[in-house]
Amino acid sequence: MSAEKAVTDVINVYLEALRTNNGPQFLEAFTPDSTVTHAAVADRTVSTVSITEFIEQVKGFHAQFGTVVETPDKIQVDLSEPVAGVRVDFTIALGNDVTMTGTDFFSLAQVMGRWYITSKLYSM
């Protein structure tokens, strides 16, 4: 398997974990000390949480909206093994009534032959 495909596969694991609200699946894609940073467009704030706190936030979104589906509009991979950067332009549906667009920037590292997300920065 090519490195680019392996990196894209990790992003797909993240997207599936988000859609299915699957905490353990998030932990398959992220390193244990990963961070997630949200740069909010509406109020121009920036907040950073651990991956475990992000998983709890996702649980809250599922509880509030019922479904959370992030659909990639474009995925761009920049690879310089053993690291990679991935940009995902997306549309996210929160339940049936809320749809937004945004961008994810992921940093990944290859550890013992396997790719992991080390950080996520997003805006929407």
Do 75 and 8 form a contact (C-beta atoms < 8 A)? yes
Give the model's pLDDT for residue 122: 97
Give the model's pLDDT for residue 41: 84
Rg (CA), the chain: 14
Give the model's pLDDT for residue 42: 86
Q: Kindly list the distances between the CA atom of residue 14 and the CA atoms of 27, 42, 57, 67, in Å, as whole numbers in the listed order.
A: 9, 25, 14, 15
* Positive or negative: CA dihedral 14, 18, 24, 30: positive
Q: Which domain, by its residues, includes 22? A: 3-123
pLDDT in tens, the chain (124 residues): 899 999 999 999 999 999 999 999 999 999 999 999 999 988 999 999 999 999 999 999 999 999 999 999 999 999 999 999 999 999 999 999 999 999 999 999 999 999 999 999 999 9
How many independent structural domains does the chain possess?
1
Give the model's pLDDT for residue 4: 96
Residue 37: CATH number of its domain: 3.10.450.50
Q: Which two tokens stand for residue 27?
A: 């932990």
Cβ-based neighbour number of residue 55 at 10 Å: 22
Q: Kindly list the distances between the CA atom of residue 6 and the CA atoms of 23, 42, 70, 115, in Å, as whole numbers in the listed order.
A: 21, 34, 20, 7
Give the model's pLDDT for residue 103: 97
Give the model's pLDDT for residue 16: 97
Q: Kindly list the distances between the CA atom of residue 120 and the CA atoms of 34, 48, 87, 98, in Å, as whole numbers in the listed order.
A: 8, 10, 10, 22
